[in-house]
């Protein structure tokens, strides 16, 4: 545990990728395989379900620290991280445990799940007393499932690959699904990650997906595309769908569906089981699962604006059980855009155009209305495509995807072998007033960095109008702007409700968001998707901020 | 009648007609120590503890009208007995003890309870009312023994020097820099300092504090190989200046009590945070307050709200004094603003 905590401290202390790589390589070289197995799991984003209710953790921490409850809360507000706060207020102990990460996770932490508060109150203090401060903080982060340290999965992959002398794409592939809830890291699974390549590796894949190839955002003006990207005819252009990116795998007579988060989601989409007979074994399709306007009949034309807003799909995903009603109300289809495996063979190294041509044959042979080809857009020039892109909102898509016709399918966000670009339409925007502020977490601890924004419920000429909250946002400002807002918030605070301060309305921000929908849960009657701050409208007085009508007009 | 009250100019003693660390110019100013948020220019008369004289003159001007007292020496002014007692914060820092009509008040200024060998150690003074600072007035602030911190700094410096990297350590030029110099292992390599640190070093040395030899970084060429093995002490205010351009390949660290929190350290974006403060931590504050035996506690700057509430729950008569202290010394927001722009 101490070795892992030291790795955490080294990763946390550095902003350099090389230093982080070196830290991980050192750790993996020294660690026992069973410990390394769990380290890979946590570093690449794996989280066991919460082991101990946060409430119980807090109560225990308060009791052990001997602090009044309110003072613990004040401290937490200043720190902005529960595990760190607990580690700072508990009595400090020298490190006594010699057990490794695997023993800690498997024998001490996982068994805590489902224990009664009484039993936890006995067991946790004994565990904590064995750990020094950093180990204690890391341990609590593992317990709460909030373990995060600034390394990407790609960096973990590179560290493992460098240590094992493997191609990092191979490691990335082996790592897919490693953090899935259903998989439990073990010495064996770790040794498999770093094992020498074997010729039959490919055949042993079962329901294993490939690492997703991810797109980069393109925000240059269209006039520069010719220079940046070359002629439009070298590119395969598609709509950017607003659904769930998914890999559909058909092998050994079975179907598996993986989401982009590398979560197995087959059971969330029972209707896609109907694809089984139409797809031969050894087929892997990359695409987007979207909600469709009515149960697909196969009679529609190649493309009609039949995609439903993401909000609807989200409602369906949120359900614990999928009953007939919801399946009827929110049917889904798979919009296929890539073919990664065909007849059991890895096709990722073939050019985009070849994969697409084969995908079209697969879809046509499958002849199932739940499998639709994501249509291609044709345009001679970038300007022409830009014009077509303007229809995005009406069609319920987010913009265009640009993929070079001659390149292979990469891994994650690699850019060395061709790049997929997402060319999104500008977000919706509205000028809103900051009315509540809350102190942030982690890097922004103690700073008022999370805000609630409101718009007017009437036009400026209305005699009495009030500000109605519409969205919370915490991203989009520079550190410097956050500091400025923080100082204004402190000076204009009207009232404090725990960590939240209500402020004298004085700041106007342009908020951007991706989608908008009616909502019964929100006071304003409206819910927006991915709200963030586009810019600080220092030029705009509060009276001139937008009203609900502006938002309602966007709904149509 | 209170012996000290809060006025727009600063903390004021009506009976003696003088101010303690005023932030606006007044006729008579009693100064606890030479940091900029406590010792300001423009007052007609200054009174301070004798060990702080040289620093005050360097900072406020050689010709200020300054009277000094040895620690413990008593002065009678308008019926008020006034004396200075060591605060353990920086060289010459003092608590101000006031006695009038049988009542004793002590204004702490800034203080630190752990002795560090660079200034007279904090001495608790019995009083009826204690005016305490609270820069780190939350229980999350508990300092490790300083030896441990110096060992960390040594280790970091050594590791950097091994790969030919300069070690740039941001720290306050008065107090913190000298404490670090006094505490680290000077055999590890050359020590360079920013121009703001060198004159203060001289004063400390003249006061008999042992500091290893230091070189003004401005006297060393950028290309000098010695640069790559050096530890450099730099005030945070210089972080953003062109002065920093002389360092090519370096690792940076920041020495401050605020480094106790991951969030603050990560916001600054420095490679290393060293938790080293010239202020009392939470246990230090509580210990100091207890030692005074005071039944009334006035809390200035920092997390005054939490400390006041906590003391009240312990049965003390506590209240917050609104002051403008803490606006530069260890203010993380300021340090951040200064550092933010130079760091990627």
| B165 close to A (CB below 8 A) | no
Bridge partners (DSSP) listed for residue B130: B106, B297
Nearest to B140 among A13, A85, A487 (CB): A85
If DSSP codes are grouped into helix, strand and coil, which group holds residue A120?
helix
Q: In terms of DSSP bridges, do strands A467-473 and A526-529 run parallel, antiparallel, or are they unpaired?
A: unpaired
Confidence grade of residue B237 (pLDDT, cut at 50, 70, 90): confident
A357 and A441 share one domain = no
Cβ-in-10-Å burial (0-12, 13-18, 19+) of A538 comes to exposed
Residue ranges making up the domain that contains A443: 428-555
- Probe site for chain A from B156, B165, B240, B267 (most A CB atoms < 10 A): B267
Domains held by chain A: number: 3
Asked whether residue B335 is assigned to any structural domain, the reply reads no
For the cut 50, the answer to whether the pLDDT of residue A316 exceeds it is: yes
Contacts of B273 in chain A (CB under 8 A): 13
pLDDT digits (tens, 9 = 90+) for B125-161: 999 999 999 999 999 999 999 999 999 999 999 999 9
Cβ-in-10-Å burial (0-12, 13-18, 19+) of A497 comes to exposed
| DSSP per position, B201-255 | HHHHHHTT------EEGGGS-TT-GGGGG-EEEE-GGGTTSGGGGG-SSEEEEEE
pLDDT digits (tens, 9 = 90+) for A219-232: 888 999 999 999 99
Structure tokens, A272: 């896609």
**Where on the phi/psi map is residue A344: left (φ > 0), alpha (ψ -120 to 50), or beta?**
left
B81 and B118 share one domain = yes
Judge: A67–B139 Cβ closer than 8 Å, yes or no.
yes
Contacts of A486 in chain B (CB under 8 A): 333
A354 and A474 share one domain = no
| B159 close to A (CB below 8 A) | no
What integer pLDDT is reported at residue B340 of this predicted model?
Answer: 37
Judge: B139–A85 Cβ closer than 8 Å, yes or no.
no
Q: Which long-range contacts (CB under 8 A, 24 or more apart) does B273-277 make?
A: B273/A13, B274/B149, B274/B152, B274/B153, B274/B156, B274/B169, B275/B143, B275/B144, B275/B149, B276/B143, B276/B146, B276/B149, B276/B171, B276/B176, B276/B179, B276/B180, B277/B112, B277/B135, B277/B136, B277/B141, B277/B143, B277/B330
B37 and B84 share one domain = yes
Nearest to A12 among B261, B262, B267 (CB): B262
Cβ-in-10-Å burial (0-12, 13-18, 19+) of A68 comes to middle
Contacts of A92 in chain B (CB under 8 A): 142
**CB-based contact A306:A395 (threshold 8 Å):** no
B253 and B302 share one domain = no
- Dihedrals phi, psi of A501, to nearest 5 degrees: -115, 135
Judge: B263–A446 Cβ closer than 8 Å, yes or no.
yes
A417 and A485 share one domain = no
Nearest to B140 among A89, A442, A483 (CB): A89
For the cut 90, the answer to whether the pLDDT of residue B73 exceeds it is: yes
What integer pLDDT is reported at residue A56 of this predicted model?
Answer: 93
Residues with Cβ within 8 Å of residue A364, at least 6 apart in sequence? none
For the cut 90, the answer to whether the pLDDT of residue A30 exceeds it is: yes
Percent of chain A with pLDDT over 70: 96
**CB-based contact B20:B13 (threshold 8 Å):** yes
For the cut 80, the answer to whether the pLDDT of residue A118 exceeds it is: yes
Picking from B239, B260, B276, the residue at the C-terminal end of a domain is B276
Q: d(Cα B164, Cα B153) in Å, to the nearest integer?
A: 16
Task: Report pTM.
Answer: 0.76
What integer pLDDT is reported at residue A306 of this predicted model?
Answer: 78
Nearest CA in chain A to B343: A15
| B262 close to A (CB below 8 A) | yes
pLDDT digits (tens, 9 = 90+) for A247-295: 999 998 999 998 887 777 888 899 999 999 999 999 999 999 999 887 5
Residue ranges making up the domain that contains B218: 146-276
Contacts of A479 in chain B (CB under 8 A): 267, 336, 340
For the cut 80, the answer to whether the pLDDT of residue A320 exceeds it is: no
Confidence grade of residue A116 (pLDDT, cut at 50, 70, 90): very high
Asked whether residue B81 is assigned to any structural domain, the reply reads yes
Contacts of A444 in chain B (CB under 8 A): 263, 267
What integer pLDDT is reported at residue A440 of this predicted model?
Answer: 81
Judge: B263–A68 Cβ closer than 8 Å, yes or no.
no
Nearest to B263 among A70, A74, A80 (CB): A80
Task: List the CATH number of the domain containing A30.
Answer: 1.10.3260.10
Judge: A71–B310 Cβ closer than 8 Å, yes or no.
yes
What integer pLDDT is reported at residue A88 of this predicted model?
Answer: 96
B288 and B239 share one domain = no
Confidence grade of residue A14 (pLDDT, cut at 50, 70, 90): confident
What integer pLDDT is reported at residue B337 of this predicted model?
Answer: 41
Judge: B337–A88 Cβ closer than 8 Å, yes or no.
no
Judge: A71–B306 Cβ closer than 8 Å, yes or no.
yes
Contacts of A480 in chain B (CB under 8 A): 337, 340
Asked whether residue A442 is assigned to any structural domain, the reply reads yes
Looking at per-residue pLDDT, the higher value among A245 and A207 belongs to A245
Structure tokens, A32: 């026992």
Picking from A98, A116, A144, the residue at the C-terminal end of a domain is A144
A224 and A343 share one domain = yes
Q: d(Cα B178, Cα B328) in Å, to the nearest integer?
A: 18
Q: What share of chain B is helix, strand, coil (3-state, %, to 5)?
A: 30, 25, 45
Judge: A483–B336 Cβ closer than 8 Å, yes or no.
yes
- Probe site for chain B from A132, A134, A447 (most B CB atoms < 10 A): A447
For the cut 60, the answer to whether the pLDDT of residue B343 exceeds it is: no
Q: d(Cα A449, Cα A440) in Å, to the nearest integer?
A: 5
For the cut 60, the answer to whether the pLDDT of residue B290 exceeds it is: yes
A300 and A364 share one domain = yes
| A262 close to B (CB below 8 A) | no
B151 and B91 share one domain = no
d(CA A505, nearest CA chain B) in Å:
24
Percent of chain A with pLDDT over 90: 56
> Cα–chain-centroid distance for residue A440?
19
Task: List the CATH number of the domain containing B198.
Answer: 3.40.50
ipTM: 0.90
Q: Which positions 427-456 of A are in contact with B (Cβ < 8 Å)?
A: 441-447
DSSP A543: G
For the cut 60, the answer to whether the pLDDT of residue A204 exceeds it is: no
Contacts of A146 in chain B (CB under 8 A): none
Looking at per-residue pLDDT, the higher value among B26 and B335 belongs to B26
Structure tokens, A217: 């955002």
Asked whether residue A408 is assigned to any structural domain, the reply reads yes
pLDDT digits (tens, 9 = 90+) for B77-110: 999 999 999 999 999 999 999 999 999 999 999 9
For the cut 70, the answer to whether the pLDDT of residue B331 exceeds it is: no
| A67 close to B (CB below 8 A) | yes
pLDDT average, residue stretch B60-76? 96
Asked whether residue B204 is assigned to any structural domain, the reply reads yes
Judge: A65–B140 Cβ closer than 8 Å, yes or no.
no
Asked whether residue A169 is assigned to any structural domain, the reply reads no
B263 and B300 share one domain = no
Residue in B47, B135, B33 with CA at minimum distance from that of residue B91? B33
C-alpha gyration radius of chain A: 26
B264 and B153 share one domain = yes
Contacts of B310 in chain A (CB under 8 A): 68, 71
**CB-based contact B205:B179 (threshold 8 Å):** no
Q: d(Cα B88, Cα B90) in Å, to the nearest integer?
A: 6
The overall average pLDDT reported for chain A is: 89
What integer pLDDT is reported at residue A200 of this predicted model?
Answer: 67
Of A73-82, A390-399, A492-501, give the lowest mean pLDDT range.
Answer: A492-501
d(CA B266, nearest CA chain A) in Å:
6
Q: In terms of DSSP bridges, do strands A244-251 and A254-259 run parallel, antiparallel, or are they unpaired?
A: antiparallel
pLDDT digits (tens, 9 = 90+) for A411-459: 888 777 789 999 998 888 899 999 999 988 777 777 888 999 999 998 8
CA angle, B72 as apex, B53 and B92 as ends, to 5°?
Answer: 25
| A149 close to B (CB below 8 A) | no
Picking from B256, B276, B296, the residue at the C-terminal end of a domain is B276
**Element spanning B104, H or E:** strand B103-107
A23 and A118 share one domain = yes
B266 and B285 share one domain = no
- Probe site for chain B from A5, A11, A79, A478 (most B CB atoms < 10 A): A79
Q: d(Cα A373, Cα A393) in Å, to the nearest integer?
A: 20
For the cut 80, the answer to whether the pLDDT of residue B302 exceeds it is: no
pLDDT average, residue stretch A81-104? 93
Q: List strand residue ranges (DSSP E) for A36-189, in order.
A: none
Residue in A84, A99, A83, A102 with CA at minimum distance from that of residue A41? A102
Confidence grade of residue B333 (pLDDT, cut at 50, 70, 90): very low
Domains held by chain B: number: 2
């Amino acid at each position: 545990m101490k070795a892992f905590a030291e790795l955490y401290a080294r990763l946390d202390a550095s902003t350099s990728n090389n230093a982080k790589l070196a830290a991980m390589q050192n750790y993996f070289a020294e660690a026992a395989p069973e410990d390394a197995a769990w380290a890979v799991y946590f570093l690449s984003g794996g989280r066991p379900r919460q082991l101990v209710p946060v409430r119980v953790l807090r109560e225990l921490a308060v009791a052990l620290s001997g602090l009044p409850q309110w003072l613990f809360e004040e401290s937490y507000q200043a720190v902005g991280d529960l595990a760190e706060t607990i580690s700072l207020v508990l009595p400090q102990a020298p490190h006594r445990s010699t057990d490794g990460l695997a023993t800690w996770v498997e024998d001490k932490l996982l068994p805590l799940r489902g224990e009664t508060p009484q039993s936890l109150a006995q067991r946790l203090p004994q565990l904590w007393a064995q750990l020094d401060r950093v180990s204690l903080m890391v341990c609590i982060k593992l317990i709460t499932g909030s373990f995060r340290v600034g390394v990407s999965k790609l960096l973990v992959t590179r560290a493992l690959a460098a240590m094992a002398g493997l191609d990092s794409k191979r490691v990335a592939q082996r790592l897919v699904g490693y953090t899935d809830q259903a998989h439990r890291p073990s010495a064996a699974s770790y040794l498999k990650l770093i094992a020498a390549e074997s010729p039959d590796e490919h055949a042993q894949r079962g329901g294993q997906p490939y690492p997703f190839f991810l797109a980069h955002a393109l925000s240059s003006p269209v006039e520069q595309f010719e220079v940046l990207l070359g002629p439009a005819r070298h590119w395969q252009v598609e709509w950017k769908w607003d659904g769930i990116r998914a890999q559909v795998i058909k092998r050994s007579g079975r179907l598996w569906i993986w989401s982009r988060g590398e979560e197995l989601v087959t059971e969330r989409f029972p209707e896609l089981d109907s694809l089984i007979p139409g797809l031969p074994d050894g087929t892997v399709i990359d695409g987007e699962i979207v909600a469709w306007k009515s149960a697909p009949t196969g009679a529609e034309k190649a493309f009609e604006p039949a995609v439903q807003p993401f909000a609807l799909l989200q409602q369906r995903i949120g359900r614990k059980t999928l009953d007939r009603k919801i399946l009827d109300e929110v049917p889904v289809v798979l919009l296929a855009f890539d073919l990664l495996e065909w007849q059991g063979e890895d096709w990722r190294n073939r050019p985009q155009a070849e994969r697409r041509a084969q995908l079209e044959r697969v879809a046509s042979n499958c002849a199932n209305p739940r499998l639709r080809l994501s249509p291609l857009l044709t345009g001679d020039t970038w300007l022409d495509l830009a014009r077509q892109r303007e229809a995005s909102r009406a069609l319920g898509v987010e913009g265009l995807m640009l993929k070079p016709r001659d390149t292979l399918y990469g891994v994650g966000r690699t850019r060395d072998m061709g790049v997929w670009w997402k060319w999104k339409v500008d977000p919706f925007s509205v000028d809103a007033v900051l009315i509540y502020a809350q102190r942030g977490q982690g890097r922004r601890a103690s700073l008022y960095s999370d805000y609630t924004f409101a718009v007017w419920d009437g036009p400026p000429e209305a005699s009495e109008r009030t500000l109605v909250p519409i969205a919370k946002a915490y991203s989009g400002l520079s550190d410097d702007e956050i500091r400025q807002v923080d100082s204004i918030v402190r000076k204009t605070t009207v009232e404090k409700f725990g960590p939240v301060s209500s402020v004298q309305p004085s700041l106007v921000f342009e908020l951007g968001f991706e989608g908008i929908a009616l909502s019964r849960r929100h006071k304003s009657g409206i819910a927006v998707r991915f709200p963030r701050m586009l810019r600080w409208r220092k030029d705009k007085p509060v009276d001139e901020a937008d009203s609900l009508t502006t938002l309602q007009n966007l709904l149509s | 009648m209170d012996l000290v009250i809060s006025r727009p100019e600063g903390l004021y003693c009506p009976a003696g007609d003088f101010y303690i660390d005023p932030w606006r110019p007044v006729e008579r100013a009693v100064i606890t120590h030479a940091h900029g948020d406590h010792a300001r220019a423009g007052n007609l008369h200054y009174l301070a503890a004798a060990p702080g004289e040289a620093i005050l003159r360097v900072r406020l001007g050689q010709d200020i009208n300054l009277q000094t007292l040895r620690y413990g020496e008593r002065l009678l002014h308008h019926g008020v007995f006034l004396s200075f007692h060591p605060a353990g914060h920086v060289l010459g820092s003092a608590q101000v003890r006031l006695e009038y009509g049988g009542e004793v008040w002590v204004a702490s200024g800034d203080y630190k309870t752990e002795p560090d060998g660079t200034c007279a150690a904090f001495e608790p003074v019995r009083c009826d009312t204690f005016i305490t600072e609270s820069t780190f007035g939350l229980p999350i602030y508990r300092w490790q023994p300083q030896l441990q911190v110096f060992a960390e700094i040594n280790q970091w410096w050594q590791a950097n020097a091994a790969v030919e990297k300069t070690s740039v350590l941001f720290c306050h030029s008065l107090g913190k820099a000298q404490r670090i110099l006094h505490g680290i292992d000077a055999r590890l390599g050359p020590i360079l300092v920013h121009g703001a640190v060198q004159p203060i070093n001289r004063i400390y040395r003249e006061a008999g504090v042992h500091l290893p030899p230091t070189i003004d970084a401005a006297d060393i060429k950028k290309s000098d190989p010695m640069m790559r093995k050096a530890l450099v002490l730099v005030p945070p205010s210089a972080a953003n200046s062109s002065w920093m351009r002389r360092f090519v390949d370096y690792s940076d660290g920041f020495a401050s009590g605020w480094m106790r929190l991951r969030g603050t350290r990560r916001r600054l974006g420095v490679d290393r945070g060293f938790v080293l403060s010239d202020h009392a931590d939470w246990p230090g504050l509580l210990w100091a307050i207890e030692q005074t035996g005071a039944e009334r506690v006035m809390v200035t700057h920092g997390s005054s709200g939490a400390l006041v509430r906590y003391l009240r729950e312990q049965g003390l008569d506590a209240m917050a004094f609104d002051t403008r202290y803490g606006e530069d010394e260890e203010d993380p927001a300021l340090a951040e603003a200064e550092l933010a722009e130079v760091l990627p």
